[in-house]
Amino acid sequence: MSPGTAAAQAGIRDGDRIVKLDGKKNPSWEDINEKEVTGARRPLYVTVERGGKDYDYIVTPALDDTKGVGYAGWDERGQVQLGMVEPGYPAEKAGLKKDDLIVTLNGRPMQSPLRFKDTTRASGGRPIDIEYLRKGQAYRVSVQPALAELDGDKHWMIGVVPQRKLHYTTIQLPFPAALRESLHENRQGALLLVKVIKGMIERRVSAKNLSSPIGIAQMSGEAARQGAPAFLEFMALISLQLAIFNLVPIPIMDGGAILMLLIEMVMQRDLSLNVKEAVFKVGFVFIMMLLAFAIFNDISRYARG
């Protein structure tokens, strides 16, 4: 739990277990993350279990200016792994490498990527003692944080990207059950896109989270580094969302062509060639402007580091 975030200010503590979220009992972290990213400035009714008792809170995620989505400040507990070690930063100089598993930070067990970042930034430049595992072998190192610029502000950093270690389990299902699971997952992915678009209209999700092919390539690279299951899952989600976006009634998209055919069917005559050309020109300009904006978003993110 990050101090000063919406969840911490509401009274939620480290170690609390979310047992109900907006009326849904025992939500998965997929459910929780979806509510969080699409729920900026909207109260979430949360029930947590602590010491065998249930406590009710109201958490209103803030809009993260850098990512453009809601942010409450909680995260899932699990093994913390280094997803990236920046060249030239203190972590690399101390010998830390990608895929190292973090066991403790300053003697405290580490099970949260957010807590890892908070501890580093709050170090004040004092050395951080890190215990980690590499190929099953335990190591200990002291890393001196450096003051570096991030998102326009100065922060103490050691130059790593901590992330939760992903665990995948392969389950073999008979065809009917596999088909039902596929339909469920595709429905969830489709609804997520709809909720994000709705959030943009309601100004609870920022257009800053739009990514161009540059951002998609970068994210696909990160997914590939996490292994084949993560990469295939990411590619499936991107394919699904592109297919749905293609059905949006925008001229030059399939959805726009379907809309024009429906209009002609209702009118019982073809639209004039001049009208069709004008509509397609407007659609082309809109798509190019959207692509330019998404590319600008990606370049701005990389420029901020």
Give the 3-state secondary structure of residue 167: coil
Helix axes 213-225, 273-304, angle to 10 degrees: 50
Name the pairing type of β-strands 24-25 and 17-21. Answer: antiparallel
- Whether residue 305 is predicted with pLDDT greater than 60 in this model: the reply is no
Q: What are 107's two structure tokens?
A: 């003697």
Owner of token pair 């991030």: 150
Q: Pick the more confident residue, 205 or 231.
A: 231
- Say if CB 258 and CB 249 are below 8 A apart: yes
Distance between CA 166 and CA 153 in Å, rounded?
30
- Whether residue 208 is predicted with pLDDT greater than 60 in this model: the reply is yes
- Whether residue 150 is predicted with pLDDT greater than 70 in this model: the reply is no
Distance between CA 93 and CA 90 in Å, rounded?
5
Distance between CA 9 and CA 110 in Å, rounded?
22
pTM equals 0.66
Distance between CA 264 and CA 267 in Å, rounded?
5
- 107-143 confidence digits (pLDDT tens): 888 888 888 888 898 888 899 999 999 988 999 999 9
Helices (H), the chain: 6-10, 29-37, 90-94, 113-121, 175-201, 213-225, 228-246, 254-267, 273-304
Average the pLDDT over 193-204 and give the result: 78
DSSP class of 88: T
Nearest to 208 by CA among 293, 134, 302: 293
Reported confidence tier of residue 8, pLDDT bands at 50, 70, 90: confident
- Whether residue 304 is predicted with pLDDT greater than 60 in this model: the reply is no
Residue 74's pLDDT is 85
DSSP class of 271: P
